[in-house]
Amino acid sequence: MTQTDWLRSSYQAFVSTINIVALTVVIVAYTLTLDSWLLGFGGLIEISFLVWSVFSHRYPAQIGDAIKLRLNRTLLVVSVVGVVVTLFFGFGKHLLSNQWSWDLTHAEGWEAGAIVWTILFVAYYVVKFKTTGRRLIDKLIILSYVLVVILAYFALRTMETPRIHIVYVCAIGFDLLLIDYLLGKHHPDDDEKIRSKASFLLADIPMAVALPVLGLYLWAHRDTEHPEAFVAGIISFQLLVSNATFVVMEFKLLQPRDLVSKRQATTSMPEEERVPAEPDS
């Protein structure tokens, strides 16, 4: 095996799905816990994996070629980071370093993880954003991205005052609703336009309906027992369901009917009439 072959094998192993997931888990877990033993153990496994991939002729056949899905790496990292953050804030709050714990209750920990995951999805939106060709629409979408992050910051800081907190979270829901609505109307790519419409219907509208109802209940029933835990539990569940729905659609595991029909129509066309599809990023 030449040096070029070694480098190629190492690169294929490094960018493989299994390695991206493992690295993301280790890095995020260390960032949250500042546990040097965890980082050292993860680094040792990573080095061993890369060395094995160089000297093992079985690697490309058994792992590299076994994963057929061409996953969007950015979305993969965002999804894994979100899951790890949510699990740590939800189940492993006592493992977090002092800079992340914020003296959160267990219910607030779940919600904080869900809100952070939502911010990460906004970052993913920004990475995949394509201009619509309409300056006013583009500016409105970009401002909406920025506004989500600002609202999320204030939502995290107001968890102990649920009646104020719910206002910020409702605003996040309506902001995401607006983003998907504009992308569903004006996105230059037809597939993305269909996917944004599906996200608008399946992820955004349920959140935009459920959260104001929760807010009205809080303001009408000021004697609600333990409102912080009550609100945090409902919001975290709603955000996690919306985020999971978004992930499933982006990974094309749940296809909007219009998109499926379009692809079926394309495959049934004569080959010379087909328009080449844009490759997945």
Q: Which domain holds residue 111?
A: 93-273
How confident is the model over 8-48, as pLDDT tens digits?
777 777 777 788 888 888 998 888 888 888 889 888 988 88
Q: Specify whether 146 is located in the same domain as 181.
A: yes
**What is the Cα–Cα distance from 76 to 120, expressed in whole angstroms?**
11
**What is the Cα–Cα distance from 249 to 247, expressed in whole angstroms?**
5
Q: How many CA atoms lie within 13 A of 239 on its CB side?
A: 30
Q: Specify whether 216 is located in the same domain as 174.
A: yes
Mean of pLDDT values over 183-212: 89
Average model confidence (pLDDT) across the chain:
80
Mean of pLDDT values over 79-108: 78
Whether the predicted pLDDT of 99 surpasses 80:
no
Structural domain contains residue 134: yes
Q: Specify whether 99 is located in the same domain as 236.
A: yes
Confidence band, pLDDT 50/70/90 cuts, at residue 257: low
Q: Specify whether 60 is located in the same domain as 106.
A: no
Residues 6 or more apart in contact with residue 214 via CB below 8 angstroms: 166, 231, 234, 235
Structural domain contains residue 75: no
Q: Specify whether 140 is located in the same domain as 221.
A: yes
Q: Specify whether 62 is located in the same domain as 101.
A: no
Q: Specify whether 169 is located in the same domain as 233.
A: yes
pLDDT at 204: 92
Mean of pLDDT values over 229-248: 87
Higher model confidence: residue 59 or residue 62?
59
Structural domain contains residue 130: yes
**What is the Cα–Cα distance from 121 to 247, expressed in whole angstroms?**
9
Place of tokens 């109802």: 213
How confident is the model over 136-183, as pLDDT tens digits?
999 999 999 999 999 999 999 998 889 899 999 999 999 999 999 999
As a whole-number percent, the residues of the chain with pLDDT over 70 amount to 80
pLDDT at 4: 72
Return the closest-CA partner of residue 250 out of 144, 152, 121: 121
Structural domain contains residue 87: no
Structural domain contains residue 279: no
Structural domain contains residue 83: no
Q: Specify whether 111 is located in the same domain as 2.
A: no
